[in-house]
Amino acid sequence: MDLNTIERNETDSASQSAAAASAPAKKVFVKTYGCQMNVYDSQRMTDALAADGYTATDVIADADLVLLNTCHIREKAAEKVYSELGRIRDMKAERAAVGREMLIGVAGCVAQAEGPEIIRRSPAVDLVIGPQTYHRLPDVLARVRGGEKIVETEYAIEDKFEHLPQPKRAEMIKRGVTAFLTVQEGCDKFCTFCVVPYTRGSEVSRPVAQIVAEAERLADAGVREVTLLGQNVNAWHGKGEDSMEWGLGRLLFRLAEIPGLARLRYTTSHPRDMNDELIAAHRDLPALMPYLHLPVQSGSDRILKAMNRRHTAKDYLALLERIRAARGDIALSGDFIVGFPGETDADFEATMDLVGQVNYASAFSFKYSPRPGTPGADMPDHVPEAVKDERLQRLQALLLKQQQDFGLGLVGSTIDTLIEKPGRQAGQKVGRSPWLQPVIVDEKAGEIGDIIRVRITKTGYNSLFAELA
């Protein structure tokens, strides 16, 4: 997350302006857990708080307001939040002892799922706000300063989309040449392991006009690559500028028309919503990068049915054949859960077999973690942790080898790279390949925002090294 400084704009009176100028500016520290959508939401929270006189800081000890934007996908992620709140509570007490206020807020999916429980377990918390209500932060803070403890988790996603704060152009420029753009939230799939339908709500698509307008503002601020976000992004649909119903494929073609936007991506997808129009976009749209994150979770049909994925391993593999026929250089990424309740050795071997057939360029893999309130948590035959550990190690070893082989296969090839930021070492810049790998180049190869042609010379652990072609 990019924590930018936004100046407070006082308009009440000359005396208030003078007082504000002499008083320390209020500062907010936002810590983000979890997915890219939380990163996007954290930036929007910072934007909303700018209107309330807050500047952002990356030093928690300097903050007058600390916000934890939380993730509820994994059990340990939620517990990390409570552990962090204990440390911030002590910091708040130290500040109070010298007469300086520190407010504590919890936002995001843990806030939505646990609500009042957070206040009960961590009384130092002043406000709890769900992922669809952060545009109300200034009003909530006013009530907190009036002495209330606030739990604000009732929402309408459409209301959030309508009231998304718009950052100033100067602040957008500071955030870099790549950006996230939320187009869809919520999920109607109800996979039995997942809390998203309960924390983010049902599927809602953002209107075309809003999406295009935000993308145009990003491009005007120098953004070259936009990643469209949604819990189930390829289920996005909406009335287009021609009054016809559009799907994600049509939306991608429209965004590609925006001057300055050179690259488009989207995540996260569900196999059941990968339609012909979207596959055609991968075939016909050069701006759409040849990289697709398409989670499957398991290679066992029995486990897929228990997960309520509503597709089979054969369905998934057949879909990949169609996608690869449309775009031969496309690279696949996926998500996997090992140790789902009832998973046998044979079920796990089916997952290993599927991974071997697909040959992923990257992937995310996890041990199953029961989430309260989901059907999976109440299923019988939970897998012992030691078995989960062993299976995860085997799966990750195979996925890592495939990732490394994919990188090695690029050595000697010539590709386009978007220069994104300075390198960690002097004399270097870091670019982004079409397949999302960091590409290390000489700092003289181009300026940030340039798309340059490079030849891959070698691979690192997670990156590529290149020279100008």
Residue 388's pLDDT is 97
Q: What are residue 128's phi and psi, to 5 degrees?
A: -125, 125
Rounded Cα–Cα distance for residues 112 and 107 (Å): 8
Residue 38's pLDDT is 85
Q: Which two tokens stand for residue 174?
A: 């500071």
Longest dimension (CA), the chain: 75
Q: What are residue 293's phi and psi, to 5 degrees?
A: -95, 110
Rounded Cα–Cα distance for residues 353 and 208 (Å): 40
Q: What are residue 367's phi and psi, to 5 degrees?
A: -80, 145
Full pLDDT tens readout for the chain, 469 residues: 333 322 223 333 333 333 334 445 799 999 998 788 888 888 888 888 887 889 999 999 999 999 999 887 766 667 888 889 999 999 999 988 888 899 999 998 888 888 888 999 999 999 999 887 887 888 899 999 889 998 988 766 556 677 666 766 767 677 799 999 999 988 999 999 998 888 888 888 999 999 999 999 999 999 999 999 999 999 999 999 999 999 999 999 999 999 999 999 999 999 999 999 999 999 999 999 999 999 999 999 999 999 999 999 999 999 999 999 999 999 999 999 999 999 999 999 999 999 999 999 999 999 999 988 899 999 999 999 999 999 999 999 999 999 999 999 999 999 999 999 999 999 999 999 999 999 999 999 999 999 999 999 999 988 999 999 9
- Least Cα distance to 387 among 395, 398, 399 occurs for 395
Q: Which residues, listed in sequence order, are joined to residue 118 by a DSSP beta bridge? A: none
Torsion of CA 384, 385, 387, 388, to 10 degrees: 120
Residue 133's pLDDT is 81
Residue 359, sorted as left (phi over 0), alpha (psi -120 to 50) or beta, turns out to be: left
Task: Return contacts of 220-223, CB within 8 angstroms, 24+ apart.
Answer: 220/169, 220/260, 221/169, 221/172, 221/173, 221/175, 222/172, 222/173, 222/177, 222/260, 222/449, 223/172, 223/176, 223/177, 223/178, 223/179, 223/260, 223/261
Q: Is 6 helix (H, G, I), strand (E, B) or coil?
A: coil
Rounded Cα–Cα distance for residues 232 and 205 (Å): 10
Q: Is 437 helix (H, G, I), strand (E, B) or coil?
A: coil
Q: Which two tokens stand for residue 35?
A: 């997915």
> Are 295 and 286 spatial neighbours (Cβ–Cβ below 8 Å)?
no
Residue 24's pLDDT is 58
Q: Are strands 178-182 and 362-367 parallel, antiparallel or unpaired?
A: unpaired
Q: Which residues, listed in sequence order, are joined to residue 205 by a DSSP beta bridge? A: 184
Establish how many alpha carbons lie within 13 A of residue 439's alpha carbon, considering only the half-sphere containing its beta carbon.
31
End-to-end CA distance of the chain: 32
- Least Cα distance to 91 among 138, 57, 114, 59 occurs for 59
pTM exceeds 0.85 for this model: no
Cα angle 39, 82, 144; round to 5: 75
* Residue spans of beta strands (DSSP E) within 342-463: 362-367, 414-422, 428-432, 438-442, 451-459
CA dist 48 → 42, 133, 139, 415 (Å): 10, 11, 10, 39
User: How does DSSP assign 202-243, residue by residue?
Assistant: S-EEPPHHHHHHHHHHHHHTT--EEEEE-TTGGG-EEE-TTS
Rounded Cα–Cα distance for residues 45 and 412 (Å): 44
